[in-house]
């Protein structure tokens, strides 16, 4: 069965022509899919023969709400979505003054094994298709009756470990007849798979790239992020500079402050030295405590001191507030609990 929502318009045209139908039908199908049709029978302006052909050869990918939690503090919504094979991922919908932003998943689980991350701790199941990434956004829009203007690929999974599907998603999300979310409104976060950063740079997309650094050197970084052993920081930072050269888009760095691990003044100074003159921005995020990791977030004073030291090196840093702290909004936590419950139920 063909995953019809992952097809580009030219691919959709090939599909209908090969099925013996006129090419213009493809645009009609695309419009229905863009409107969120979940069933081929909804596509009223298609002849019955074409609908039958589609029913026997294709499926429409949807995300169904398995669980939903709404934060009492800030109305952040966390979804656990299920796909047709029963696999689940998390998405987080956030309300800002300027509109709605959603954090979506790109994989079921993750292979990268970062020690502070709930997703990393629960292993890897499979990558998501482009349509499954779109479906998370569509389902949240439908559920809340809203239009989402910004997307961050910061949910479960490593986007650059699912490169082709993510790039396909980026192009489909911009479709004016569909979600109509342009590249400049999409942020991709990566743990730093250097060769794929170059592949991405070569595409010259206008997306925002965020790199999860979480340490000022390889020694500390490799304690929490195994990927640091494969791609040392020097190569990673060079890739970020080259990315900027190629695309004109500045890279943002994510830095989760973990008490006693990466939050000392010495760490801040070392990071400041390395990022000085790069005009890069650092997002400082107090680490979300994940069961079983033993990590604690740095206190406010430490967060501020870290930011001040970076500022002294000319590196701008923002201490991010954490949204939805009462609903396990750090991705991977809800699914992990859900899986645990299911396992407990099964024993």
Which of 189, 247, 280, 303 touches ligand SAH by CB under 6 A? 189
Q: Which is nearer to ligand SF4, 112 or 315 (CB)?
A: 112
Given the residues 58, 88, 90, 254, the one annotated as active site: 90
Binding segment (CB under 6 A) for ligand SF4, from list 40-48, 115-123, 237-245, 273-281: 115-123
Closest to 317 in 3D by CA, of 262, 273, 279, 265: 279
Let me know if 103 is a catalytic residue: no
Q: Which is nearer to ligand SAH, 63 or 227 (CB)?
A: 227
Q: Which is nearer to ligand SAH, 116 or 169 (CB)?
A: 116
What does the angle CA 152 – CA 239 – CA 251 come to, to the nearest 5 degrees? 35
Let me know if 90 is a catalytic residue: yes
Cα–Cα distances (Å) from 193 to 116, 215, 236, 240, in that order, read 18, 16, 8, 11
Which of 112, 130, 205, 257 touches ligand SF4 by CB under 6 A? 112
Least distance CB 18 / ligand SAH (angstroms): 37
Which of 290, 315, 317, 323 touches ligand SAH by CB under 6 A? 290
Calpha distance 128→118 (Å, rounded): 18
CB of 252 closer than 8 Å to CB of 210: yes
Calpha distance 30→111 (Å, rounded): 34
Neighbours of 120 (CB within 10 A): 25
Decide the pairing of beta strands 251-257 and 281-286: parallel
Q: Is there binding between residue 262 and ligand SAH (CB under 6 A)?
A: no
- Partnered with residue 65 across adjacent β-strands are 81
Calpha distance 287→263 (Å, rounded): 11
Q: Is there binding between residue 127 and ligand SAH (CB under 6 A)?
A: no
Q: Is there binding between residue 288 and ligand SAH (CB under 6 A)?
A: yes
| Binding positions for ligand SF4, rule: CB under 6 A | 110, 112-114, 117, 119-120, 157-158, 191, 212
| Binding positions for ligand SAH, rule: CB under 6 A | 116-117, 154, 158, 189-191, 212, 214, 254, 256, 285, 287-288, 290, 330
Active site residues: 90, 331
């Amino acid at each position: 069965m063909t995953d019809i929502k992952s097809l580009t318009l030219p691919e959709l045209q090939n599909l209908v022509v090969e099925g013996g139908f006129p090419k213009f039908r493809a645009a009609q199908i695309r419009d229905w899919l863009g409107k969120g049709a979940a069933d081929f029978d909804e596509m009223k302006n298609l002849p019955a023969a074409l609908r039958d052909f589609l029913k026997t050869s294709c499926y429409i990918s949807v995300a169904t709400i398995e669980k939903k939690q709404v934060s009492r503090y800030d109305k952040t919504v966390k979804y656990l979505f299920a796909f047709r094979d029963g696999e689940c991922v998390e998405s987080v919908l956030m309300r800002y003054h300027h509109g709605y932003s959603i954090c979506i998943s790109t994989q079921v689980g993750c292979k990268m094994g970062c020690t502070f991350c709930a997703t990393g701790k629960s292993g890897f199941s499979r990558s998501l298709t482009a349509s499954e990434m779109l479906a998370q956004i569509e389902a949240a829009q439908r559920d809340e009756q809203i239009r989402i203007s910004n997307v961050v690929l910061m949910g479960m999974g490593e986007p650059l470990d699912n490169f082709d599907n993510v790039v396909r998603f980026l192009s489909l999300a911009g479709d004016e007849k569909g979600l109509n979310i342009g590249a400049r409104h999409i942020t991709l976060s990566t743990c730093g798979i250097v060769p794929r950063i170059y592949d991405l740079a070569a595409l010259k997309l206008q997306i925002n790239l965020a790199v999860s650094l979480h340490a000022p050197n390889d020694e500390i970084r490799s304690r929490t992020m195994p990927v640091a052993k494969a791609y040392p920081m020097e190569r990673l930072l060079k890739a970020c500079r080259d990315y900027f050269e190629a695309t004109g888009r500045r890279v943002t760095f994510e830095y989760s402050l973990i008490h006693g691990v990466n939050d000392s003044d010495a760490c801040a100074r070392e990071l400041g030295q390395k990022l000085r003159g790069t005009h890069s921005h650092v997002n400082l995020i107090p680490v979300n405590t994940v069961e079983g990791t033993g990590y604690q977030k740095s206190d406010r004073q430490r967060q501020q001191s870290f930011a001040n030291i970076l500022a002294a090196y000319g590196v701008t840093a923002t201490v991010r507030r954490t949204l939805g702290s009462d609903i396990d909004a750090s991705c991977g936590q809800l699914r992990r609990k859900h899986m645990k419950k299911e396992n407990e139920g099964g024993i």
